[in-house]
Amino acid sequence: METEMNWTVADPAHWNEIQFGGEGSARWQDGVLKLDAGVELTGAQYGGELPKIPYEIELEARKIAGSDFFCALTFPVSSKDECLTFIAGGWGGGTVGISSIDGMDASENETTTYRNFEDGIWYRIRVRVEEGNLSAFLDDEKVVEVVTEGRKLGLRAGVIEYCAPLGVAAWQTAAEMRGLRWRSLAD
């Protein structure tokens, strides 16, 4: 049985609003990170302690208004210099997947799936990063299982890189996130 003591909670004091250019406001209010819709990306980067492989990271996110991704969770893989992004609601609102694997975005690689996301509903997102393997869950349903060993892993070129090594963002969408935490999977 897992206990709450296994988890490291991302302290709100360590979050920094990212200046993408044209971003909306990113601010904490009552334990919730509120991202206002921007011209493009709005987000925040975590500047505290980082999880180390193997680990599991999770948060809850919801779309308030907009028609594109309400959660881009950027996380470290093998180091702070090798990161990926879990996308929920991308490419017009329904794409789920990991960017980027072998240079292909979440909309074009084997992690691509589709979901209908409703405004105002909290969705639980959980990502497991293990040596040579990555899996992701949406409300406890496994939506990604991919072998990463021998693959080219990295972020999509562009300003999403400002989220690295750990951060969140939304594209032209007002969103809220809460409960970002991680735990070690090492024995």
* CB of 40 closer than 8 Å to CB of 81: no
Over residues 33-54, the mean pLDDT reads: 96
Q: Is the dihedral of CA 147, 153, 155, 157 positive or negative?
A: negative
Tokens of 42: 């709005």
pLDDT tens for each residue of 69-85 = 999 999 999 888 999 99
Q: Which residue has the tokens 């309400």?
A: 70
Res 187 pLDDT > 90: no
Confidence of residue 63 (pLDDT cuts 50, 70, 90): very high
* CB of 120 closer than 8 Å to CB of 66: no
Res 28 pLDDT > 90: yes
* CB of 71 closer than 8 Å to CB of 168: yes
* CB of 8 closer than 8 Å to CB of 182: yes
Res 51 pLDDT > 90: yes
Output the DSSP codes for 131-165: TTEEEEEETTEEEEEEE-TTS-B-PPSSGGGGG-S
Looking at residue 147, what is its pLDDT?
A: 97
Written as one letter, the residue type at 173 is T
Q: Could you tell me the pTM of the whole model?
A: 0.95
Which residue pairs from 111-114 have beta carbons closer than 8 angstroms and sit at least 24 positions apart in sequence?
Answer: 111/136, 111/143, 111/144, 111/146, 113/143, 113/144
Domain 4-184: CATH class, spelled out: mainly beta
Looking at residue 2, what is its pLDDT?
A: 46
Alpha-carbon distance of 104 to 59, in angstroms, equals: 25
Confidence of residue 4 (pLDDT cuts 50, 70, 90): low
Three-point CA angle 30, 66, 139, nearest 5°:
65
pLDDT tens for each residue of 120-171 = 999 999 999 999 999 999 999 999 999 999 999 999 999 999 999 999 999 9
Res 41 pLDDT > 60: yes
pLDDT tens for each residue of 82-129 = 999 999 999 999 999 999 999 999 999 999 999 999 999 999 999 999
